[in-house]
Amino acid sequence: MLRPRIIPCLLVHKRGLVKTVQFASPKYVGDPINAVKIFNEKEVDELIVLDIDATAHNAEPDYTMIRNVATECRMPLCYGGGVKSVEQAVRIIKLGVEKVAISSAAVENPALISDISRFVGGQSVVVVLDVKKDRRKGTYEVWTHNGKKNTHRDPAGLAKEFEELGAGEVTVNSIDNDGVMKGYDLTLARHVRNAVALPMTVLGGAGSIADLETLIKEFEIVGAAAGSLFVFKGVYKAVLISYPSRTEKEELTSAALGRVRA
């Protein structure tokens, strides 16, 4: 039975775990492997690991890091960063990763989605849409290369195109809300949700358990992803890895879904 997923997202920069604010000012928060070990103990639903250096520097994925994370990880793992070919995607899957995320490569070469899907299965192909809002026009646009290159493409239109090419999931990441911890951009999520039937994960802005609940209430079967929420604690953002307990998670999701169905 499909259910909502609550997903920590780890950003890797120079082999360290970092958090950003609006895709800038990466703050070191620890070692990725140590974070994975803690999330194992907390029985998280799924884990996203994004290497924010690979695409920006036109580098190969760090297969050693991926292998180390996949070996330690006891939950479904999605990796993204630097994937530009079928061969790279296949190699990553063989290391024990369940899903491969692609972003800029999908925009630049949409056929890559179909090519990778044929080799590893569509369920293992996640397209990540990093999105900014144009405040002047009031529209959303997809950006690539860590938010430095504007594609001038509408995220809903791209998501639909990628769905038709065989992508198995779409992750909608708000650059404006990244690290701000003031809630998800539900308007953006709804804009993409209305365009596709793909499983959807939403990232960017979660600052409390209530934000996760609000997202699940709105979209029911959704991936509620967060970074800062699961690595920071308190107003001074002390580093502390956290995640809802099994009981807290069940109460959160049942309350959200119960209100939807009431």
The burial of 228, by beta-carbon neighbours within 10 Å (0-12 exposed, 13-18 middle, 19 or more buried), is given as buried
Backbone dihedral angles phi then psi of residue 187, each to the nearest 5 degrees: -65, -45
Give the pairing type, strands 16-21 and 5-13.
antiparallel
In three-state secondary structure terms, 145 is: coil
Active-site annotation holder among 62, 130, 178, 185: 130
130 is catalytic: yes
Question: How far, in Å, are 104, 213, 238 from residue 242 at the CA level?
Answer: 31, 17, 12
Question: How far, in Å, are 29, 55, 171, 218 from residue 202 at the CA level?
Answer: 22, 21, 6, 12
What is the Cα–Cα distance from 228 to 252, expressed in whole angstroms?
A: 19
CB 206 within 8 A of CB 184: yes
Catalytic residues: 130
